[in-house]
Structure 1
Amino acid sequence: MSECSIAAMDLFARYKKVDIVSIGTYTPTWDKKVAKNREKYKHSFRESGSVKWYIKEAIDLLAKMKSDFGFNKLFISIDDSLMCRKAAGIVQKLATKTGWEVVGFDKHPIGTTDYSAALTQCKKSGAQILFIWAYSPETSILLKQWADMEVPALPMGFIGAAEDPGFWKATNGKGAYTIVTLSETGCVPTNATPKAMPFFNNFKKRWGVEPRSTGCVSAYESIYVLKDAIERAGSLDRLKLIAALEKTNLPAVRGTIRFDQNHQIIYGYDPKTSVLGCWVQWQNGRRVQVFPEVAAMGKIQMPPWIKK
C-alpha cells in the first residue's frame, strides 16, 4: 500500500486532485516527500498514522515498564522481511539509548511454524521483554509456544496476529498477557474521548465484531475530516479546500485531528491537541487498553511464571 500511495502522490500533483490517505502508508517516506516540495505535494494529506510515532510510543511504553517493573533486558524477534529488519533496528538503537540491554535477536523466515529454538534462547538470555515485530499469521503459534514453554519475558510489539479480535480463540487463550499496538484509540473500549465509545459500540453492532486495528478508526474519521473542510471552505475549489484542511481542528474518535506543516496528522498524548495511539494487553479474553495512560482502561498484568 505504501508503494502505491507514494507513487500516486505525483499523479495527484499532476492532475491537481486533493488526496487524503486514511489507511495504511505508515512509512516516513510519505511526509519526507511532502517536506522536500510542499508546493508540489500540497494536494496530499495523511490522516492515517506514521511508523515514526508508533516507534516512539513503543519506546515510551518500554520506559514506563522499566520504571514500573524494573525491567531492563530485551529480546527482539522479527519476521525476516526488509520492513521488519529496518524497524526493529531502530527500536534496538533507541531502546539501548534509553537504558535497555538487548540480550538477544531472532530473525525467522516468514511462515515459520516452530519457534522453540528462539524461545529457548530468549528463556536463557534473562530477557524480561520479548519484543516482537512480525505480521505473519504464524505468530499466533509463536505465542502459544511462549505460553507452553513459560518463557519469563513478556511479549509485546507489532504483532499482526495479536491485533485481531479472534486471536484469543486462535491461541486457545495462550495469547494471554500479550501486549500489542492497534495504532488507533477507539478500537477497544476507552473513555479517552467523548466519541470513542459510541464509535466502538456502533461498529460492533453494525459488523458483529470489534474494530480490528489500523484503519478502522482513521478511515471512518476521514469522511468527517473532508466534510468539515468542505463546510468551512464553503466550496469545492481545490485551493480553498486545501487551505481548510490545513486548518483542521476537529474533535474525533482518536482525539483532535490536526495536520502539521507536511500534512501529516499529529499524534500525541493529549486528545485535545492530537490523536491517540492504542496499546492493548490481552486479559481474560479481551483486549484491554493499557497505553497511552490517558486512554488506559486497565493495568499491565504479568503471567504467573514471571516474577515482578
Structure 2
Amino acid sequence: MVFMPWSVQASDPIIIGVPTSLGFLEGAEGLNSVNLAVEEINAKGGVSIKGEKRLLKVEAIDIRDAAPVVPVPEALLGIEKLILEKKIKAIVLAPFRSEALLASMDLISKYKIPMLATTAMAPDYTKKVLENYDKYKYCFRVCLDAGYLVGYLKGSMESVQKEYGFKKVYLMHQDVAWARGTANALAGILKGAGWEVLGVESYPTGAGDFSAGLMKARQGGAQVILPIFDMPQSGILVKQWNSMKVPALMLGFISPLAGPGAWKNFDGKIDGDMNLIFEIGNVPVKKVPKSVAFYDAYKKKYNKEIEAGHCPAPAYESVYILAEAMERAGTIDPDAVVSALEKTDRQGAIGRIRFGKNHQVVYGNDPKETAMAAMIQWSKTGTREIVFPESIADAKIHLPEGLKSAK
C-alpha cells in the first residue's frame, strides 16, 4: 500500500516541502522567498478551503543535489523522507540540478505530490509531462527552461550584432545538463545567424581556472565571450577575463555576477559585463510594479538585496500559484489541485503567469502577456541597467573599455 500524504485532518496546516540544495545561493534565497510568501499569506489568515482558513507551513531539507559529490539516489532519499515524515501536500522550489529533478518525477508520481520546480531547467522535464500526462501531471515548472534561456541569449546577441556588427563568439559552459544543452543549442543557432563560433569549451563543476579558454578566445579574435555557469567558482572566470584584459564583451550567465553585491566583490572591474537575470523580480523592473514590490519586500524582511539571478522570484510566486489553485479547487486533493494549477492566470513578480500544456510557465517579451527574463549590463557607476528585452529596457548596450565597434 502506498501512503498518500494528502489524507489528513481538516484542521492540520497545509505543509509545503522544499527539497533542494540549501547551501547554494539560489537554494538559500529561494527558501527565503518561499518563507516570505508563506508569511504574507498566513498574515491574511492563510488559504481558504471551502470557507475554512488553513495556515501554510514550510518544511525544508538540504538534499545537496547541486554538489558534484552527491549522487542522485541520495538526493531522492531526502525527497522521499520529506514526503513520508513531514506529510507534505506539495513541493515548491524542488531539486536544484536537472539530473535530480528528472529522476524525482517517478517519486512524485508515486506519491501524487504537486511539484512546482523553480531552479532546474532541462526541457526533458516538461517533455515527459506531454509524453505521459497521466503519470507526470503533478510536475510543473515556474522558472524558465533551457529553451527559453536560449531564446533570450539569442535575442541579446542579435541586439549586439545589430548595434556593433560583431560576428565572432566563443562559448564557455559548465558541464551539467542545462548548461551543456544551452551551449550546444546556441552554437548551432548562432552559426545559422551569421556568427563565427570559434569554440565551445566545457568545465566540470568546481573548476577554478578558465585561462586556457580565455586565451583561445583572444587568439581567435572573439568579440563576444558567452559563458553559461551557475557554480560559485565561475566568478574566477570574470577575474581572469579582467586581469588578462581580453578585448571581448562578456555576455551570458555567470551566477556570481547577477546580484548587486557583484560590483564590490569584483572591485568594480565588471563594467560592461552583460548577465541574464533568468526571471524578473530577481531584479526590480520599473515597468513591472509587482517585481519591484517583491524585491522591496524581500529586502525589508531579510535586510539585504537578492543576489541570485535565478530562482527567488519564481519560488515566491510558486507559493501564491499553489495557494490560489487550492482555493479554486476547494480541496488539497492532488488531482483536483493539478486541474486548478493548469488554469493559473496570475499577474505576479515575474510577469503574467500561465502554464502551457506541458506545465511550463510561458515566457516571452511582454510582461502583460508572459513571464519574463531580463538582460542586465553593469555600468561604470556600479548599477545594473536593463538592456533587453526592449519592452522593459531602461538603457542601451555599451561596450566595455578596450573593445571597439566592428561597424
TM-score, normalised to structure 2, is 0.70
Matched, 1:213 2:327: no
* Further displaced range: 276-285 or 4-13: 4-13
> Structure 1 vs Structure 2: percent identity of aligned residues?
36
Matched, 1:123 2:200: no
Asked if the contact 1:140–1:167 (Cα under 8 Å) also holds between the matched residues in 2, the reply is no
For 1:95 and 1:71, how far apart are their aligned partners in 2?
12
For 2:334 and 2:119, how far apart are their aligned partners in 1?
24
Matched, 1:246 2:354: no
Deviation at 1:209, TM superposition (A): 2.3
Deviation at 1:81, TM superposition (A): 5.1
Q: How does 1:1-308 map to 2 (within 5 A)?
A: 1=95, 2-21=98-117, 23-80=118-175, 84-108=179-203, 110-211=205-306, 212-283=308-379, 284-308=381-405
Secondary structure in 2 matching 1:281: strand
For 2:233 and 2:337, how far apart are their aligned partners in 1?
44
AA in 1 matched with 2:386: Q
For 1:237 and 1:141, how far apart are their aligned partners in 2?
48
Q: Residue deviations 1:104-144, cap 9 Å, x none?
A: 44445555544444333322322211111233433323222
For 1:174 and 1:101, how far apart are their aligned partners in 2?
28
For 1:171 and 1:76, how far apart are their aligned partners in 2?
22
* Further displaced range: 286-295 or 78-87: 78-87
- How has the CA–CA distance of structure 1 residues 109 and 214 changed in structure 2, closer, same or farther, with 3 Å as cutoff? closer
For 1:120 and 1:18, how far apart are their aligned partners in 2?
47
Structure 2 unaligned spans of 5+: 1-94
Deviation at 1:187, TM superposition (A): 1.6
AA in 1 matched with 2:348: A
RMSD: 2.1
AA in 2 matched with 1:40: K
For 1:231 and 1:81, how far apart are their aligned partners in 2?
38
For 2:112 and 2:204, how far apart are their aligned partners in 1?
43
Secondary structure in 1 matching 2:226: strand
For 1:120 and 1:48, how far apart are their aligned partners in 2?
34
Asked if the contact 1:119–1:151 (Cα under 8 Å) also holds between the matched residues in 2, the reply is yes
Q: Residue deviations 1:20-74, cap 9 Å, x none?
A: 22x2121111011111111222222222221111111111111111112211111
For 1:91 and 1:219, how far apart are their aligned partners in 2?
27
Secondary structure in 1 matching 2:189: helix
Q: Which has the larger radius of gyration?
A: 2
Asked if the contact 2:173–2:229 (Cα under 8 Å) also holds between the matched residues in 1, the reply is yes
* Further displaced range: 184-193 or 2-11: 2-11
- How has the CA–CA distance of structure 1 residues 39 and 175 changed in structure 2, closer, same or farther, with 3 Å as cutoff? same
For 2:273 and 2:240, how far apart are their aligned partners in 1?
13
* Further displaced range: 131-140 or 92-101: 131-140
For 1:113 and 1:241, how far apart are their aligned partners in 2?
44
- How has the CA–CA distance of structure 1 residues 269 and 82 changed in structure 2, closer, same or farther, with 3 Å as cutoff? closer
For 1:118 and 1:12, how far apart are their aligned partners in 2?
40
Asked if the contact 1:74–1:131 (Cα under 8 Å) also holds between the matched residues in 2, the reply is yes
For 1:33 and 1:260, how far apart are their aligned partners in 2?
13
Secondary structure in 2 matching 1:39: helix
For 1:53 and 1:216, how far apart are their aligned partners in 2?
18
Deviation at 1:13, TM superposition (A): 2.1
TM-score, normalised to structure 1, is 0.91
Asked if the contact 2:283–2:309 (Cα under 8 Å) also holds between the matched residues in 1, the reply is no
Asked if the contact 1:267–1:274 (Cα under 8 Å) also holds between the matched residues in 2, the reply is yes
* Further displaced range: 292-301 or 229-238: 229-238
- How has the CA–CA distance of structure 1 residues 104 and 242 changed in structure 2, closer, same or farther, with 3 Å as cutoff? closer
Q: Residue deviations 1:84-122, cap 9 Å, x none?
A: 444322211111111111124444555554444433332
AA in 1 matched with 2:402: W
* Further displaced range: 163-172 or 213-222: 163-172
For 1:131 and 1:276, how far apart are their aligned partners in 2?
20
For 2:178 and 2:125, how far apart are their aligned partners in 1?
15
Q: Residue deviations 1:235-256, cap 9 Å, x none?
A: 3333332222111111101111
Asked if the contact 1:79–1:133 (Cα under 8 Å) also holds between the matched residues in 2, the reply is yes
AA in 1 matched with 2:397: I
